[in-house]
Structure 1
Amino acid sequence: MQLKDKTIVITGGAQGLGLEMARMCAAEGAKLALIDMNAEQLAAAKAELAASTTVNTYSANVADESEVEAIFSQIDNDFSGIDGLINNAGILRDGLLLKYKDGEIQSKMSLQQFQSVIDVNLTGVFLCGREAAAIMVKRQRKGVIINMSSVARSGNMGQTNYAAAKAGVVAMTVTWARELGRYGIRVAAIAPGVIRTAMTDAMKPEMRERLEKMKPVGRLGEASEIAHTAKYIFENDFYTGRVVEIDGGISM
C-alpha cells in the first residue's frame, strides 16, 4: 500500500515515536488522524505537520471503550474511511515484582501499577485495532494495522506489566492477520529495542554507554529508523502476521 492520499490513524501520535512516524507518513503524502491525551502536544504536532498534509487531532484515552468508539466514528466521518492504523500509545510503570531484604518483603508491584500498563498497552491496542478494522471492513477498503510491541516481550527485569502487555500485542497481531486477511487487511508488529529519546539523552553518561555497548551496532536506535520500518510494512503487500525486531541485535 502506497501512503499517498491514504488516511492513517496514529495513537500516541503527538510525541516520540508516534510523531516521528507521523512525519514519515506526511512526507509520503498521507492524511493524518493523530490521537493523544496531551492537547498541547497535539496542537504543536498539527502546527508542524499541517503545512504538508491534512491533519486532524483527537484527544482520547485509548483504554476507554466509549471514548475510542466515539473518536473512531468521528475520524470515519471526517475522512470518509481509514486506510491504516499505527497502535503506538503506551506507558511505563516499571518496578520489580517484589523486593525482599533482611528477611522481609519490602514492596510488591501493585495491582494498579500492573493494570494501568495492561489497560493502555494491551487493551488500548485491542480497542483501537477493533474499531479501525470495523471501519475498513464496513467500507470495503483494504488496509494495514501496525502494532507497537517491544523486545521486552520476551521478559525483562522490572517490567512484568510491560513485558506481559507487549507479548499480548504480538499474539493479537498474529491472530488479527489470520482473521482479517480475508478482508484485505494486513497486520504486523514492530518490536523496538532502546531508541534514543529525550529520556535516554538525559541518562547519566555511564548508563548510556553501557546500553550502547550491549548492542552489536554500538549505539542506540533512532526514531527515524522505527518510522522507516513502519513505511516498509505499509508498502510491502506480502508482509503480515509477523514482527520486525529493530533493536540493534540486542536480542540475538
Structure 2
Amino acid sequence: MDLTNKVIAVTGGAQGLGFAMATGIAERGARLALIDMNAEPLEQAAASLRELGVEVATFVANVADEDSVIAAFDGIIDQFGTLQGLINNAGITRDGLMLKVKDGEVTDRMSLSQWQMVIDVNLTGVFLCGREAATRMIQAQSEGVIINISSISRAGNFGQTNYSATKAGVAAMAVTWAKELARHNIRTGAIAPGFMATEMVASMKPEALEKMASGIPLKRLGEPAEIAQMAVAILENDYISGRVFEVDGGLRW
C-alpha cells in the first residue's frame, strides 16, 4: 500500500512507540488519526507531526470502553471520510507475581483488578479498535491494514502473567483476522518488540540498563524508530498478512 495520503490511526499515539510509529508513517506522506486518553500530550504530539507537513487529527478515547472507541472511529470518518490503516499500540502494565510466597506461606497474590485492567486495555481494547477499524474499511470498500503491537513477553515473562497473556492474545488475533478479513482486502500483522529505549526505559538507572542490554545478542536496546520501520514495512508490503514479526535484537524467549 502506498502510504501517500492514506489515513492511518494509531492508538497510544501520543508518546513512546506509538509516537515513533506515527512519525515513521507521517514521513511516508500518510494522514494521521492519533488516539490517546490524555489530551495534552496528544495535542503536543500532533503539533510535532504537523511540522512534517501532514494532516493530523486527534481523538481522546479510552480503548477499553466500547462507546468511546466507536465515537473515536466515527470521528475519524467524519474528519477524513475514509480509513486505510490501524496500529493497535495502546497498552499498560500492572506487573506482579501471581503469588508471593515466603517460608511456605502465600503473602500476596496478583489481584483481580491488576489482571482485569491489563486485559481490558491490552486485549479488549485491541479487539474493539480492530473491529471498528475493519467495519469502516469494509463500509468504505477500502483496502486496509491492521497491525497489533505484541511483545517478546508473549512467550511468557516472570512477573507478567497479565501482560504476557494479552500480548499472546493480540498476536493470535492478528493471525485470525488475516484469515477472516482477506476476502475484504484487509491485511493484518503484529510486531513483537524486545527491550526498547523508550522514554520510560531510558529513565532507568545506568547499571540496570547495562544489565538489560548485556542479555541481548546485539548488546543494545532497540530504538523506537526501528519498530516504526517494521510498521511501515508491513503497511507497504501487500503480500504480508497474518505474521508476527519479532524485533528484539536476537533475544528469543
Q: Same fold (TM over 0.5)?
A: yes
Q: Distance in 2 between matches of 1:14 and 1:201?
A: 17
Q: Which residue is 1:23 aligned to? A: 23
For residue 142 of structure 1, report the CA deviation from its aligned partner. Answer: 0.7
Name stretches of at least 5 consecutive residues in structure 1 with no aligned partner.
Answer: none
Indicate yes or no: 2:159 matched with 1:158. Answer: yes
**Equivalences for 1:110-189 in 2 at 5 Å?**
110-189=111-190
Q: Distance in 2 between matches of 1:226 and 1:189?
A: 11
SS for the counterpart of 1:243 is: strand
Q: Distance in 2 between matches of 1:139 and 1:48?
A: 29
Q: Which residue is 1:249 aligned to? A: 250
Counterpart of 1:31 in structure 2: which amino acid?
R
For residue 171 of structure 1, report the CA deviation from its aligned partner. Answer: 1.1
Question: Runs of 4 or more off by more than 2 Å in structure 1?
Answer: none
Q: Distance in 2 between matches of 1:151 and 1:201?
A: 18
Q: Which residue is 2:207 aligned to? A: 206
SS for the counterpart of 1:251 is: coil
Name stretches of at least 5 consecutive residues in structure 2 with no aligned partner.
Answer: none
Contact 2:17 2:224 in 1 (8 A): yes
Q: Deviations over 1:176-205 (max 9, x none)?
A: 000000011000000000100222222222
RMSD: 0.9
Q: Deviations over 1:3-37 (max 9, x none)?
A: 11000000000110111111111111100000001
Q: Distance in 2 between matches of 1:158 and 1:70?
A: 35
SS for the counterpart of 2:245 is: strand
For residue 102 of structure 1, report the CA deviation from its aligned partner. Answer: 2.4
Q: Which residue is 1:197 aligned to? A: 198
Q: Which residue is 1:64 aligned to? A: 65
Q: Distance in 1 between matches of 2:12 and 2:205?
A: 27
Counterpart of 2:62 in structure 1: which amino acid?
N
Counterpart of 2:59 in structure 1: which amino acid?
Y
Indicate yes or no: 2:82 matched with 1:81. Answer: yes
Q: Distance in 1 between matches of 2:245 and 2:2?
A: 19
User: TM-score by structure 1 length?
Assistant: 0.98
SS for the counterpart of 1:4 is: coil
Give percent identity, aligned residues only: 59
User: TM-score by structure 2 length?
Assistant: 0.98
